[in-house]
Amino acid sequence: MKNSGLLSKLGMVAVFAALVGCGTDGPGTGPISAADAMAGCEAGCERDMMCDPTSTETVAACTADCVAGVGGGGIRADVFEVITDCTAALACTADEDICLNECSPTSAHESYETACRAKLAECGGMAADVDGACETTPGVDKGFLCVFTPAVMAELEDCFALDCAGLDACFNTVTAKYGFGG
């Protein structure tokens, strides 16, 4: 999507993870399919177009970009649906990031966070980025990892078995696998 909304953040959130608890693995924590993402993407794009009447992007093009960005198997269906419903209901001037608060980490997220904090402490020199790289509970400028499926979190956690020098390459491989860049 051309606009810098939360839906575009969902499609790019793994780039954040490549650069740098509570809940269980309940129903719906699996990946959102492209077909299931369509309605949420369309509602978000309609809102984006309404809020930015000067945009030259069409709802159809925006929706196609959104679906392509989240249909790679890495975004949780339950989170995508809740966040897109929340975002679509917001006033144009509202901060869309508030909708991330609807995301609850799973046990896979908790496990990742524990392993991440331990590994980054071992690696040293990364102390300033620990919360940004490891936090899975949404908050100000952190916790975006909450939107990933438990499978993605497990694969990212596997990277911590490597030496410190191998972390970036491993994270890039995992995020590229799910279509988030890398």
Give the pLDDT confidence of 90-141 residue by residue, as tens digits. 999 999 889 998 899 999 999 999 999 999 888 876 556 788 889 999 987 7
Rounded to two decimals, the pTM is 0.77
Burial-class residue 10 by CB neighbours within 10 Å (0-12, 13-18, 19+): buried
Asked if residue 147 lies in contact with residue 61, where contact means CB atoms within 8 angstroms, the answer is no
- CA–CA separation, 93 and 75 (whole Å): 26
**Which tokens hold the place of 109?**
């997220």
* Rounded CA separation 4/65 (Å): 13
Residue 55: phi and psi, rounded to 5, are -65, 140
37-54 residues labelled b (16+ CB within 10 A) or e (exposed): bbebbbbbbebbbeeeee
What is the rounded distance in angstroms from the CA atom of residue 112 to the CA atom of residue 156?
7
CA distances from 106 to 25, 110, 153 (A): 5, 6, 10
Q: What pLDDT, on the 0 to 100 scale, is given for residue 131?
A: 83
What residues have CB less than 8 Å from 150, skipping those under 6 apart? 25, 29, 106, 107, 108, 109
Task: Decide if 131 contacts 117 (C-beta within 8 A).
Answer: no
pLDDT bracket for residue 40 (50, 70, 90): very high
- Chain position carrying tokens 């719906």: 28
List pLDDT tens digits, range 4-31: 343 343 433 333 332 222 233 444 688 9
